[in-house]
Amino acid sequence: MAKIYEKEINLKDYSKNELLDFYQKMVKIRKFDENLIQLIQDGKVSGFYHSGIGSEGVSVGSIVNNLRDEDFIYYNHRGCNQKIAKGVPLSKLYGDFLGTLEGTTKGLGAGIVHSADPERGVLGQAGTIGSQLGISVGSAYSAKFKGTDQVTLVYFGDGAASREPLHGSLNWAGLYKLPLIYICENNEYAISCHVSETHSVKEHIADWAEGYGIPNCVVDGNDVLQMHEVVKEAVERAKRGEGPTFIEAKTFRHRGHFEGDPYDYVDPEVLQDWKENRDPIKNYKARLLNEGICSEEELIKLDEQVEEEVAEAIKKAEDSPLPGPERIYEGLFS
């Protein structure tokens, strides 16, 4: 059975800059998301949006200071969190939602699931839930074949993990010892379906990896430092040529499956508990203050910087023009 990863972490082992960077990146993701929801409510953005509020610790912990631009990620449909952690400019993400030329797709209006930023190693998602699990084997295999030390991280939910692409992917990655790190973002629900109704492994989703000979564990995804450490070890293993790792990160979404979902299938007390007692940003902030790493004023300053950055990004994306008809033929190879 998968082990629970819990490392004793001393904040003194990190530099103050790094600790504050984790904080600011989580705040940046949350503010990006809150402002996008406002744009939806104002009628400026249409289509489905899957908010990542509540799970910022998973993305920041796994990516920031663990991955380089040349390392690859495949995000999930709640993946603005991961794209921001990997360094995609906020204006480009807003541009994809607004359909303006500022977007990564230069006006094709990708929303959340069809954007990419290859220069920063963001290779995309896929049309159907879980298909990124198959594609990620490709970039991991190519790094191994070419002899580079690039690693690939693939993100997917508990619902995606109940589909068959996971098993084909695990088999290949296990067989060829690929530098591939699986991050299962287990927020307990696939739309309204609880994880207990979708997996035949009874204890942990990470137990699937056992059968493929892949090291695995379960971690508190809302603890940014635990997340950082567990992925750091997996990245080191992958770079040593020791193959894949499967990490199940426990988290919870603060909002419904998509904006507009009444979210009435979750016990309100359970949701309240996650928001009040298990919020990744709130808890991390309390730890930084309790352990004397910084003052409240320093954190307020970081929050203000983020607010400014978000406002500028929205303006840039909104000021950018919509594409003309010629855009349809750009990037079309046939």
Residues near ligand TPP, by CB under 6 A? 50, 77-78, 128-129, 157-160, 187, 189-191, 257
Residue 285 C-beta: closest distance to ligand TPP, Å: 24
- Rg of the Cα atoms in the chain: 19
From 218, 216, 209, 210, select the one nearest 186 (Cα to Cα): 218
Helix (H, G, I), strand (E, B) or coil at 295: coil
Residue 13 C-beta: closest distance to ligand TPP, Å: 32
Q: Which is nearer to ligand TPP, 78 or 237 (CB)?
A: 78
Helices 224-239 and 16-41 meet at what angle, rounded to 10? 110
Q: Which is nearer to ligand TPP, 204 or 257 (CB)?
A: 257
Residue 111 C-beta: closest distance to ligand TPP, Å: 13
For residue 155, CA distances in Å to 12, 110, 159, 175, 186 come to 30, 19, 12, 20, 10
Q: Which is nearer to ligand TPP, 89 or 130 (CB)?
A: 130
Q: How far apart are the first and last CA of the chain?
A: 49
Residue 289 C-beta: closest distance to ligand TPP, Å: 30
DSSP letter (8 states) at residue 181: E
DSSP-assigned states of every residue in 70-92:
TSEEE--TTTHHHHHHTT--HHH
Q: Which is nearer to ligand TPP, 128 or 148 (CB)?
A: 128
CB neighbour class for 153 (10 Å; exposed up to 12, middle 13-18, buried from 19): buried
Q: Which is nearer to ligand TPP, 205 or 299 (CB)?
A: 205
Q: Which is nearer to ligand TPP, 161 or 238 (CB)?
A: 161
Residue 189 C-beta: closest distance to ligand TPP, Å: 5
Q: Which is nearer to ligand TPP, 196 or 290 (CB)?
A: 196
Residue 257 C-beta: closest distance to ligand TPP, Å: 6
Q: Which is nearer to ligand TPP, 163 or 239 (CB)?
A: 163
Residue 262, CB-side half-sphere exposure with 13 Å CA sphere: 2
Q: Which is nearer to ligand TPP, 139 or 187 (CB)?
A: 187
The DSSP element (H or E) to which 222 belongs, if any, is none
Residue 184 C-beta: closest distance to ligand TPP, Å: 9
**Sign for the pseudo-dihedral over CA of 303, 224, 251, 33:** positive
Under a CB-based contact definition with an 8 Å cutoff, are residues 80 and 52 in contact?
Answer: yes
Which residue number places its CB atom closest to ligand TPP?
157
From 184, 186, 192, select the one nearest 165 (Cα to Cα): 184
CA distance 285 to 299: 8
Residue 78 C-beta: closest distance to ligand TPP, Å: 4
Residue 26 C-beta: closest distance to ligand TPP, Å: 18
